[in-house]
Amino acid sequence: MFKDLNPLLHSELRLAIMSLLLSAEEADFVYIKEQTKSTAGNLSVQLDKLSSAGYIKIAKGFIGKKPNTSCKITNAGRVAFAEYVDALKSYIIPHP
């Protein structure tokens, strides 16, 4: 009746990050922080979790002299997101 909701994606901030990366294909820390209106600490933690799960790939480098953290969604991330959305439907679509 109700499909399990992947707990890694069932989090407001992580879901927003994934949603952003799905559309943007690539985004850096500062941009994600702005778009999601999150704090740096929270964002740092949640990006790590998504990265550890293999849902995103994080590349650290510099732009000029400033450190830059760039994120990309992986294929596994895309699949997990699609599955999550599918599972959500079992909750939000009326059961006749």
Partner DNA sequence: TTATTTGGTTTATAAAATAAACTTGTTTAT
Partner DNA sequence: ATAAACAAGTTTATTTTATAAACCAAATAA
Return residues touching a copy of itself (CB under 8 A): 1-2, 4-5, 7, 10, 12, 15-16, 19-20, 22-23, 35-37, 85, 88, 91-92, 94-96
3-state SS assignment for residue 32? helix
Structure tokens, 65: 């002299």
Cβ–Cβ under 8 Å, residues 47 and 17: yes
* Separation of alpha carbons 43 and 41, rounded Å: 5
Cβ–Cβ under 8 Å, residues 48 and 29: no
Q: Which residue has the tokens 């799905």?
A: 22
Residue 75: name its binding partner from a copy of itself, DNA, none (Cβ under 5 to 8 Å by kind).
none
Least distance CB 93 / DNA (angstroms): 21
Which among 17-25, 61-69, 79-87, 88-96 is the span making contact with DNA, rule CB under 7 A? 61-69
Residue 78: name its binding partner from a copy of itself, DNA, none (Cβ under 5 to 8 Å by kind).
none
Cβ–Cβ under 8 Å, residues 84 and 76: no
Site residues (vs DNA, CB under 7 A)? 7, 10-14, 28-30, 39-47, 49, 60, 64-69
